[in-house]
Amino acid sequence: MALEKTLVLLKPCTVQRALCGEVINRFEKKGLRIAGMKMMQLDEAILREHYAHLVDRPFFPTLRDSMMATPVVALALEGVDAIEVVRQMAGPTNGRKALPGTIRGDYSVSGQQNIVHASDGPETAAAELKRFFRDEEIFEWTSPMRVAVYASDEC
Ligand code: UDP
Ligand code: MG
55 lines ligand 1 (CB under 6 A): no
Per-residue pLDDT of the chain (155 residues; tens, 9 = 90+): 999 999 999 999 999 999 999 999 999 999 999 999 999 999 999 999 999 999 999 999 999 999 999 999 999 999 999 999 999 999 999 999 999 999 999 999 999 999 999 999 999 999 999 999 999 999 999 999 999 999 999 98
| The domain defined by 3-148 carries CATH number 3.40.630.10 | no
Q: Is 50 a catalytic residue?
A: no
Instruction: State how far the Cα of 53 lies from the Cα of 48, in Å rounded to an integer.
Output: 9
Ligand nearest the Cα atom of residue 11: 1
Question: How many whole angstroms from 112 Cα to the centroid of ligand 1?
Answer: 6
Question: 82-90 vs 20-30: helix axis angle to the nearest 10?
Answer: 140
64 lines ligand 1 (CB under 6 A): no
> Is the Cα torsion angle 130, 133, 137, 138 positive or negative in sign?
negative
Domain ranges of the chain: 3-148
